[in-house]
């Protein structure tokens, strides 16, 4: 990573600002950006308030029609140029992902590459068919059914994968002719907002089509409630998603909600335990477990549970915890003190309730060591709740029917995995799970940019990201019928 001085950061165009029709002073003042690993001040950036949201919404509503009317090849060219610039600026994006989000280098590198793939895919969206012609029972009538932009899309993005989870909404929305107002989390406003805004500005996107407003709950609420914001794409907690969904429902506003998960990794008695424990470690501990797709419940057949716990614990003990900016590490810090305290509290509660701590359970500030728990029962919070930390709770089962019931007992339904040497059995079991995504002989943290992504139950309101799903999510449809001659009706 390249070193950056305080003067370099202070000279950045986004320092202390938000992005509207260019970089602007925010009415809400500024917010400090601090490194989760050290608490050091990294930067300041503008903090948007309701007045900023109103100004952005009005600017977007003015700019969007011309962008929608821009020929498809010119919109595609902006997306392709943004992907090229992202590749050229990889070091800068990597630096901020590590410093702001506490990402280890390989995770930040994967996120950057996945974001490039998103941009490349979205550059192809404008050239897709925009409609169909339907027959009519009335002679001389032609029925045109076409996709049209929604208008202005508000994107509320999280801090854990701040670049990718912002871009997976920003890029398709722009490609399909919408304006976008992006609200990054205040913990990651540079990698998740400022650098994205500058990227598209330098790629030639017209002013006003993309705006970036860092802020907290009040900023998000103003964005959701603004009448000129036609759609909300939200990635975050189920509790906040329920509130946003309720507001959008009252306003008859389209929204996509990609929410939490308490994902199960099921290990059958015939599984390859070395491979299963590798999937279990990756799924539970990657990015300190701060992933909605984290393997938060390890459901293991009783006959192999002890061996699986041994193998998983050995993998956990081999992982290095440390500041990813200072040197190589497998796990960096949790995002803030509150989350570190919550994880410790859930582990302590499980042990008090009868679970056994096999390894981990150690906390130093925001650093939490990878933890394996056995004897976890379905009544414990470590089983029922999303942990969002590097904890692998193991629960045993005896039959496939019991495994299915345990998986489906959660009100979440984002992703799951099944490990078995019997592929038909694994597929059969997968098809019985109430989960938007199921992976046989793999782990739960899976994403392919061209495959529609989304959950069931409390993990989603049915929206999907990726591939052909983007065409449905970021457009609306219009029916235009044309008669060769006007009709005269009975009255």
Q: Are residues 38 and 87 in the same domain?
A: yes
491 in any annotated domain: no
Residue 263 to residue 257: CA distance in whole angstroms: 17
Read off the pLDDT of residues 152-187 as tens digits, 9 standing for 90 and up. Answer: 999 999 999 999 999 999 999 999 999 999 999 999
Active site residue 207: no
Sign of CA pseudo-dihedral 456, 457, 459, 464? positive
Domain range enclosing 215: 6-259+460-478
* Residue among 122, 248, 255, 292 flagged as catalytic: 292
pLDDT of 4-50, one tens digit each? 555 566 678 999 999 998 999 999 999 999 999 999 999 999 999 99
pLDDT digits (tens, 9 = 90+) for 459-470: 999 889 998 999
Q: How far is CA 78 from CA 92, 123, 171, in A?
A: 20, 8, 10
Examine residue 190 and state whether it is found in any structural domain, yes or no: yes
Evaluate whether residue 452 is within a structural domain: no
Q: Over the stretch 417-450, which tens digit does the pLDDT of each residue have? A: 999 999 999 999 999 999 999 999 999 999 888 9
Same domain? For 298 and 358 the reply is yes
Residue 448 lies in a domain: no
Q: Is residue 445 part of a domain?
A: no
Q: Is the CB of residue 286 less than 8 Å from the CB of residue 280?
A: no
Query: Any idea what the CATH number is for the domain that residue 401 is in?
Result: 3.40.309.10
Tell me: do 145 and 292 sit in the same domain: no
Closest by alpha carbon to 163, among 202, 130, 199?
Answer: 199
Q: How many residues does the chain have?
A: 491
In a domain, 284, yes or no: yes
pLDDT at 1 over 50: no
Tell me: the pLDDT tens digits for 232-282? 999 999 999 999 999 999 999 999 999 999 999 999 999 999 999 999 999
* Whether residues 59 and 196 fall in one domain: yes
The H helix count followed by the E strand count for the chain is 16, 23
344 in helix, strand or coil?
helix
Based on the fold, state whether residues 175 and 311 are members of the same structural domain: no
C-alpha distances out from residue 435 to 410, 454, 456, 460, Å = 10, 9, 6, 10
The answer to whether residue 292 is catalytic is yes
Q: Looking at the structure, do residues 171 and 58 belong to the same domain, yes or no?
A: yes
Asked whether residue 240 is domain-assigned, the answer is: yes
Selecting among 35, 83, 100, 258, the annotated active-site residue is 258
Q: Looking at the 3D structure of the chain, how many domains does it have?
A: 2
Name the residue among 194, 122, 182 with its Cα closest to residue 158.
Answer: 182
Residues 379 and 412 in one domain: yes
User: Is 192's pLDDT higher than 50?
Assistant: yes
Is 468 a member of any domain? yes
What is each CA distance from 216 to 48, 232, 265, 327, 454, in whole angstroms? 9, 16, 33, 31, 25
Same-domain pairing of 11 and 89: yes
CATH of the domain at 106: 3.40.605.10
Same domain, residue pair 308 and 167 = no
Kindly state the average pLDDT of the residues 189-197.
98
- Assess contact for 355 and 382: CB atoms under 8 A: yes
Rounded to whole angstroms, the Cα distance separating 50 from 33 reads: 21
CA 472 to chain centroid: 18
Asked whether residue 267 falls in the same domain as residue 255, the answer is no
The whole-model pTM stands at 0.95
**DSSP secondary structure letter of residue 11:** T
Q: Are residues 271 and 419 in the same domain?
A: yes
Q: Give residues with Cβ within 8 angstroms of 110, minimum separation 6.
A: none
Are both 134 and 271 inside the same structural domain? no
Asked if 449 and 466 touch (Cβ cutoff 8 Å), the reply is yes
């Amino acid at each position: 990573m390249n070193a950056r001085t305080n003067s370099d950061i202070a000279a950045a165009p986004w320092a202390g600002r938000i992005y509207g029709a260019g970089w602007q002073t925010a009415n809400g003042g500024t917010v400090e950006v601090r490194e989760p690993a050290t608490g050091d001040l990294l930067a300041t950036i503008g903090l948007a308030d309701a007045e900023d949201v109103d100004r952005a919404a009005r600017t977007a509503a003015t700019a969007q029609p011309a962008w929608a009317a821009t020929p498809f090849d010119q919109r595609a060219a902006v997306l392709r140029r943004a992907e090229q610039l992202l590749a050229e600026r990889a070091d800068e994006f990597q630096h901020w992902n590590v410093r702001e989000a506490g990402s280890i280098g390989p995770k930040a590198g994967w996120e950057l590459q996945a974001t490039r793939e998103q941009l490349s895919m979205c550059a192809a969206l404008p050239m897709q068919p925009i409609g169909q012609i339907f027959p009519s029972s009335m002679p001389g009538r032609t029925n045109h059914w076409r996709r049209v932009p929604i208008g202005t899309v508000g994107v509320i993005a999280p801090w854990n994968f701040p670049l990718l989870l912002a871009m997976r909404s920003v890029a398709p929305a722009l490609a399909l002719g919408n304006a976008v107002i992006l609200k990054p989390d205040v913990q990651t406003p540079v990698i998740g907002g400022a650098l994205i805004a500058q990227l598209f500005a330098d790629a030639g996107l017209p002013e006003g089509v993309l705006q970036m407003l860092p802020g907290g709950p009040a900023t998000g609420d103003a964005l959701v409630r603004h009448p000129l914001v036609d759609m909300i794409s939200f990635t975050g907690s189920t509790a906040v998603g329920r509130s946003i969904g309720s507001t959008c429902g009252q306003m008859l506003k389209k929204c996509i909600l990609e929410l939490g998960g308490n994902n199960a990794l099921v290990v059958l008695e015939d599984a390859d335990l070395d491979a299963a424990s590798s999937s279990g470690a990756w799924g539970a501990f990657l990015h300190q477990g701060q992933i909605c797709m984290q393997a938060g419940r390890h459901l293991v057949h009783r006959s192999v549970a002890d061996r699986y716990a041994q193998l998983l614990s050995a993998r956990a003990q081999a992982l290095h915890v440390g500041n990813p900016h200072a040197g190589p590490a497998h796990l960096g810090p949790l995002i803030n003190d509150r989350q570190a305290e919550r994880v410790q509290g859930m582990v302590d509660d499980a042990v008090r309730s009868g679970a056994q701590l096999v390894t981990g359970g150690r906390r130093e500030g925001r650093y939490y060591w990878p933890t394996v728990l056995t004897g976890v029962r379905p009544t414990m919070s470590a089983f029922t709740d999303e942990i969002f930390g590097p904890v692998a709770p193991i629960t045993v089962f005896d039959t496939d029917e019991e495994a299915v019931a345990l998986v489906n007992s959660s009100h979440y339904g984002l992703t799951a995995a099944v490990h078995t040497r019997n592929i038909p059995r694994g597929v059969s079991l997968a098809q019985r799970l109430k989960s938007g995504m199921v992976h046989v002989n793999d782990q739960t943290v899976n994403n392919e940019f061209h495959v529609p992504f989304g959950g069931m139950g409390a993990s989603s309101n049915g929206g999907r990201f990726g591939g052909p799903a983007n065409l449905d999510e970021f457009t609306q449809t219009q029916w235009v019928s044309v008669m060769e001659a006007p009709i005269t009706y009975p009255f």
